[in-house]
Structure 1
């Protein structure tokens, strides 16, 4: 889909001229077709990158300058407010006269800036739109990190609060711990995705500010500098969340290990307690002719009592040692 901003009359699409009118400041390509790419390239005289080119991870591919035009790309979170969040590449092509964006997923930040264009005087230029997009992405990243912090706090309360000595403490059950481990791992993945977005935004903001020094006004240079400061602070906050994620992962794994040890403890006690009775029963099960207990009137009760005592004594010893 091709959207041209500050071209309400649609003159650009209808005109046969290969030059863009001065009022056009932003061309947004959303999952563009080949025809739309050719149209934009013919009007702007720039090359629209493919999704493969935008997905390159090396800095030389994400930050380029060609004939005074700045080519930038960074991953952006799609469905950022859901557990199914994913990274999708976004391209920014910034020239002294127009901004071209290329994306392949619906983004609320782009819709937000598109709505602001109609009533915000600061978005009267292509650099203003570019700066507003970066600010919206950073604000959205902050909201995502705050939401993840809330989810981590909720998990932390479930894991660490309550009396773990009560067997009714279901939060410490194996199934609950397994689900908690999956939830913490998913949050860790989303924190990692947010870090990739913030690092990408920081790189392109710094690069654009330095390369476009000749035609980016001081007002927007100051705003780009503020974007960089916000990215720095959010990176520190993200590092804090990453540490908390790792702490919760270690804690949950520790509880799982404790549950497994408790299971092994029960099996160990049962096996040790069962050894003496088995030994006694095996002793009196031997078919020797001369066994004095065979002639006793109370031989059978004596054997049963001996088996019972041999089982109770290890239990008393384990209780004294505090095993259960």
Structure 2
């Protein structure tokens, strides 16, 4: 789908039809078909990368200049309002006074930016202005996600170390739920780190492109500010990643400790039952000549011996603190 936007003063206005693209400020390609790619290429005289080309991991394939157009591909997060956000690649093409975006996902940052730009709250008179606005919105959305993960980690930490308890849930089940929750938050943090690193590289290339293109100095200033925001986010994510790793290790350690306690309990019970089993085994023999078989007090004496044989190890283990 092709969506075209024009600049009307300080506002961004969406066209009802594609029309002449030479006056457009922003051309947004969402899940474009092959014929739509060809139409844009013929109308603007630029190459539109395919989906497979956008997924290339080499920096030379993600950030380059071709025929006066600057190509920048970054990994972004979308569906951040869901439990597990997804990642996708978006290509920004700066060509003259125009911006072309190619994407195969629908992150909320794009419609949020359009809503803000339609009110004239941001400078969107040029393609570079639209791009820095989109970049700022992507960073803002990622920051909101990190804040949500931080809040969740703050909630989980006391539960992991038993400072708070969930009385309605068995202990083993609680640890299992905590393990899955911590793992999920760690996965979200890793995805956010990947996206932030990609946006950082994109902002550096964008800053160089803005200087080469001699864009408005206010654009360059906003790019530098956005880059500082990304660096701050990356620092927060490094700390958050270390903390989730610590909580994950702690949860695994507690699960292992609980399993060891169960194994120790069974081991102690086996040792306690060995002497009574020995007594019962002796008097369970079917030999004809056993002195105690005709003794009137043989049965109660055997019961007492088995009880004492079990009680003595129990008291000993209790004294040692093994139970």
TM-score, normalization: structure 1? 0.92
Aligned runs of 1:238-257 on 2, under 5 Å?
238-257=237-256
CA deviation after TM superposition for structure 1 residue 272, in Å: 0.6
CA deviation after TM superposition for structure 1 residue 51, in Å: 1.1
CA deviation after TM superposition for structure 1 residue 95, in Å: 1.7
CA 1:251–1:172 in 2, change beyond 3 Å: closer, same or farther?
farther
Counterpart Cα distance in 2 of 1:119 and 1:14: 23
Structure-2 residue corresponding to 1:98: 98
How big is each residue's C-alpha offset from its partner over 1:149-172, in whole Å with a ceiling of 9 and x where there is no partner?
A: 1111111122223488xxx96667
CA deviation after TM superposition for structure 1 residue 64, in Å: 0.7
SS of equivalent to 1:123: coil
Structure-2 residue corresponding to 1:297: 296
SS of equivalent to 2:71: strand
CA 1:57–1:172 in 2, change beyond 3 Å: closer, same or farther?
farther
Structure-2 residue corresponding to 1:13: 18
CA contact (8 A) 2:207 2:223 kept: yes
Structure-2 residue corresponding to 1:190: 188
CA deviation after TM superposition for structure 1 residue 9, in Å: 8.7
Q: Does 1:211 align with 2:231?
A: no
Structure-2 residue corresponding to 1:153: 154
CA contact (8 A) 1:162 1:169 kept: no
Structure-2 residue corresponding to 1:272: 271
Query: Could you tell which deviates more after superposition, 79-88 or 123-132?
Result: 79-88
How big is each residue's C-alpha offset from its partner over 1:180-239, in whole Å with a ceiling of 9 and x where there is no partner?
A: 111111111111111111111111111121133132221111110011111111100000
CA deviation after TM superposition for structure 1 residue 10, in Å: 5.0
Give the CA RMSD over aligned residues: 2.0
TM-score, normalization: structure 2? 0.92
Q: Does 1:178 align with 2:176?
A: yes
Structure-2 residue corresponding to 1:85: 85
Counterpart Cα distance in 1 of 2:279 and 2:16: 101
CA 1:11–1:303 in 2, change beyond 3 Å: closer, same or farther?
closer
CA contact (8 A) 1:12 1:20 kept: no
CA contact (8 A) 1:163 1:169 kept: no
CA deviation after TM superposition for structure 1 residue 125, in Å: 1.1
CA deviation after TM superposition for structure 1 residue 12, in Å: 7.3
SS of equivalent to 1:57: coil
Counterpart Cα distance in 2 of 1:138 and 1:172: 40
Counterpart Cα distance in 1 of 2:283 and 2:17: 104
CA deviation after TM superposition for structure 1 residue 177, in Å: 1.1
CA 1:208–1:9 in 2, change beyond 3 Å: closer, same or farther?
closer
Give structure 1 stretches of 5+ with no counterpart. Answer: none
How big is each residue's C-alpha offset from its partner over 1:64-119, in whole Å with a ceiling of 9 and x where there is no partner?
A: 11122110101111201212311111110012210000111111111122123323
Counterpart Cα distance in 1 of 2:119 and 2:303: 93
